[in-house]
Structure 1
């Protein structure tokens, strides 16, 4: 995607500003510094309007800009030399557990012919050959449906969740988008 108009950049900023601000503040723990970093991210996004650069994944691109701005901030503060401190294993496990809570409700959004085999395989842990027998389908059909369902599930996760990753691609945070009614309902039920 090319950001070719300032109005387009403004709309994107409004979509991601809250998640970016949360991410930045979680790393610097200072409101003034967070606002400065957010200004840098905004300016870099607006500068993309003047370039002819193709951006494949806007969200990942914005979080990468924020990450680099945070690294620069800490470098200026001389608080560290290499990179941001790594999230502890316990924090990482919490993020993965939170994502896992959303998988089953998202599977339920898939068409039944894909959802059922995926649920039996990945949630129930049933062997694919047994699923094929249970659903009275061929093994190759079940394998194909499970693979297709995983792809569909990945798209649902991207549609409904903001996944925050560090520079190495490690998952460090997840938030449900306001536009995803099914997961918003699910969150209300579990809170």
Structure 2
């Protein structure tokens, strides 16, 4: 598995987000916890089997969608909820596009911040390894990554119209027309023209 070096860090990084995503679909805390636990079990198994995962975030969300769909199918094969789950996007390309857009947003940050954040959050390089590559102490590397995340968050709030679901969880964002750099990036990634 070339995208993950520390399984414990990866589980810690994604567990809360996957739980929030799952909870918006099943609306039951215990079931959501069980589903996320199953996803993490499958991830740990893939890790042990050295399964190559090109886009970790996309793989985790796709697996989560499959486990949620399996959950609803087990309740009732003709359930209306199962039909709703079939509507959920199933293509990893959607997540690949999101990952690429975020990576391009990160590249808009100053280089001293964008490099460690790209390595950490996009390439899943452990922070200790990033510190060694940059010739920095681990604490300085962690601080740069945290500052970069804050800068990215501010850019995100400034440039995106954020859409939330009924429970207040993030669903997606639309780039504001005033944010030319991101509109150009989106255009180049999706092939959209004016």
Q: TM-score, normalised by structure 2?
A: 0.48
